[in-house]
Structure 1
Amino acid sequence: MSFDPGDPEFIADPYPAFAALRATGEVHHHDGLGLPVAVSHAACSAVLRDRSLGRLWTDAAPVEAFTAFNLLHRNSLLESEPPTHTRLRGLISAAFARGHTERLRPRVEALAERMVATLADRIAADGSADLIEHLAAPLPVEVIGELLGVPEEHRPRLRPWSNAIVKMYEYDVPAPVADAAERASREFADYLGELADERAVSPQADLISDLVAVRAGTDRLTRDELVATAVLLLMAGHEATVNVIGNGVLALLRHREQWDRLVADPALLPTAVEELIRFDAPLQLFERTAIAPVTIGGHRVAAGDKIAALLGAAGRDPLVFPEPDRLDVGRSPNPHLGFGAGIHYCVGAPLARVEVGAALRALVIRVPGLRLLGVQRRSEFVIRGVRSLLVA
């Protein structure tokens, strides 16, 4: 019993396959992916939290063809373990702690309202519009641009760079796609390095300036670490937020009673955000490598071997979530693993919640009669999202 991550039917709805696997065990070896996958909430949580498992970066090969891509990941918070991770997280968290989420909240809300107004105008003029094009995709790019201090005229470059790089996280990546990821990595790293150099001379009220300035005694981020951090924030913040909004609005419009419930009571928005992340996870798979032998869900993982947590499967575990296939915008408690767990818990989670909440609030207030006309899913498995969402 397994699943084909390239099967369009599986991509459309992977959750029945996950349920079938979970019914026969918490961990299964997947021959196609070449590693065991955890499908229960408990096993996935163990994969993310157990310190016998870590994020051990292995360079993309051939190394000489992926110089920039590998450099970004060798210096990334996400791809490091203690003591390096402890040092990086301390410095990055100190920079984030300078009030960036609250600084951006009014701007995020204003951006969401403006974009939803544009969406509504397009619907009024044409009868329909693509919610991804007019809201889900541009909102996080603008927010990350504001966060990092990227000038507005340069922000259109951010989304193509992110889209190209994250395709390397799928399996069996075609050579042209891999080449595009390396090219995007190099261009993005060069751009952010130049921006960091400018901020070192002329600091502003942005995260790049704070990352340049942050210190722990005499320790500071190297230029490569700073660039890798900024790239990680864009890719994680952009991709996750786009897909939570896209997947989430799709789920709400397919479960009309929950959309109507949110329209009637916007106070449910905080729990709705968590539920949408649980119900259709934007990141479906997250790998760990065994630093020492460990047993997860009855499955022995030898030192040096990999295991993956299927986060989408964890979110539908009936032992943790009553009626897991039912969307419930008031669900509480909601211990989903959408932002990870353990030492690699997403540092940008508070900002992501602000963005998704602002988008939903603007939608339910401005276009309460929104309805679904059509959807086109992305073909990738690991990064789960919607390519277009036609609404009226």
Structure 2
Amino acid sequence: MAAADDLRFDPWDPAFLADPYPAYAELRERGRVIHYAPTDQWLVPHHADVSALLRDRRLGRTYQHRFTHEDFGRTAPPAEHEPFHTLNDHGMLDLEPPDHTRIRRLVSKAFTPRTVEQLKPYVTQLAGELVDRLVEAGGGDLLSDVAEPLPVAVIAEMLGIPEADRAPLRPWSADICGMYELNPSEETAARAVRASVEFSGYLRELIAARRKEPGDDLISGLIAAHDEGDRLTEQEMISTAVLLLNAGHEATVNATVNGWSALFRNPGQLAALRADHTLVPAAVEELMRYDTPLQLFERWVLDDIEVDGTTIPRGAEVALLFGSANHDPEVFARPERLDLARTENPHISFSAGIHYCIGAPLARIELAASMTALLEKAPTLALAEEPKRKPNFVIRGLEGLSVTVSV
């Protein structure tokens, strides 16, 4: 075990947030597991360990299927945070078998590969329209003009949320996702609680309307989904819809702006991509690896585990460092180099094991559609000013990405 007292790893330091990858290299050199006192977590920086622990059933996203808070040596969340935890704790992301298995099986019935593939023409058309508007304006903010509206519209369309109701979706999602950062403040928690109440209330009304008049949307599909007598409860439907929205666009939005920011910093790779659009699928994978939108995934230790001779006891929390794993030189040749022609790319940006992202195929379609539209319709796309990094660590993104398009 290595100590972390003198490490450059500091999730609240703007210099670290600007470029965490040198600090990750230092972590990997220190060892396979490092205790980090500020969050009381065990940091796991190597690809092999992160990949293995994502599949290890001795770890879980929750412990409440086996232990009370007291039995697990933890304090229950404050009562005033209850609306957030009710919403969060009934979604697939924070459940373990058997509930996770049941809900994922039912959701998969309404979220099939065929359903996703049928969305491709809509995604392609919408991406083209958004880029056309950016070109007509001579540029703008790639984040608010293209990166955000595309996945928000797609998942809202899937869920059957009317266009007139979509404005609050992104703010609700951003406020809820604030709770996934390390040691969130009370102000962050208050915003998440308020968004949880408002979003849940809206979905409860929408579910009631779809019960009376079902459509061909995902909400109607979740209502109808059943298997051997199992159905989703109303709370599970609400939590699933919120999870699909949050996960369905947070990663895509941030992967888009992180990716284009990386391309602007690597003009040789951007030139190669502009010269050969068949590189787009490989570019999507490499950009997801190179500047990972989800940097950390937490797991509770349900039974003692051992990593490299260090016992991590039941009740502890591990921080699986996706960003570090995706830059591990044991797996990726010259990981610090952006290489759009990289053929072997087993990145773990979509997680692994039973919590592998159910929306990964859709995210790939969205990322490829927006990239292709920008390459084809905005070949002169250029950075207008240096972007500002959001002051977040877990969910890595930019405040905006100002660009120009010359005719």
1:62-81 CA-to-partner distances (Å, cap 9, x unmatched) read 54212221111221111111
**Structure 2 SS opposite 1:308:** strand
CA distance in 2, matches of 1:280, 1:264: 23
1:270-302 CA-to-partner distances (Å, cap 9, x unmatched) read 111111110001010101111111113443211
CA distance in 2, matches of 1:275, 1:298: 33
**Other-structure match for 2:60:** 54
Q: What letter corresponds to residue 74 of structure 1 in structure 2?
A: D
Q: What letter corresponds to residue 159 of structure 2 in structure 1?
A: L
1:25-44 correspondence runs (5 A): 25-44=31-50
CA distance in 2, matches of 1:293, 1:57: 13
Q: Select between 22-31 and 206-215 the one with higher mean Cα deviation.
A: 22-31
**Other-structure match for 2:399:** 387
- Choose from 5, 15, 23 the match for 1:17: 23
CA distance in 2, matches of 1:319, 1:388: 33
**Other-structure match for 2:119:** 104
CA distance in 2, matches of 1:88, 1:295: 31
Q: What letter corresponds to residue 209 of structure 2 in structure 1?
A: E
Matched, 1:376 2:388: yes
**Structure 2 SS opposite 1:37:** strand
**Structure 2 SS opposite 1:295:** strand
CA distance in 2, matches of 1:172, 1:74: 18
**Other-structure match for 1:94:** 109
CA distance in 1, matches of 2:147, 2:318: 31
1:315-365 CA-to-partner distances (Å, cap 9, x unmatched) read 000010001011111211210000000010000100010111101000111
**Other-structure match for 1:267:** 278
Deviation of the 1:103 alpha carbon: 2.1
CA distance in 1, matches of 2:56, 2:27: 22
Deviation of the 1:153 alpha carbon: 0.5
1:179-225 CA-to-partner distances (Å, cap 9, x unmatched) read 11100001101111111111122111211111110110211100000
**Other-structure match for 1:81:** 96
- Choose from 355, 362, 372 the match for 1:351: 362
Deviation of the 1:57 alpha carbon: 5.7
Runs (5+) with no aligned partner, structure 1: none
Is the 8 Å Cα contact of residues 92 and 103 (structure 2) preserved in structure 1? yes
Q: 1:266 to 1:30 in 2, by over 3 A?
A: same
- Choose from 173, 180, 192 the match for 2:203: 192
1:283-322 correspondence runs (5 A): 283-322=294-333
CA distance in 2, matches of 1:371, 1:23: 37
Q: 1:57 to 1:372 in 2, by over 3 A?
A: farther
**Structure 1 SS opposite 2:17:** helix
Percent sequence identity over aligned pairs: 48
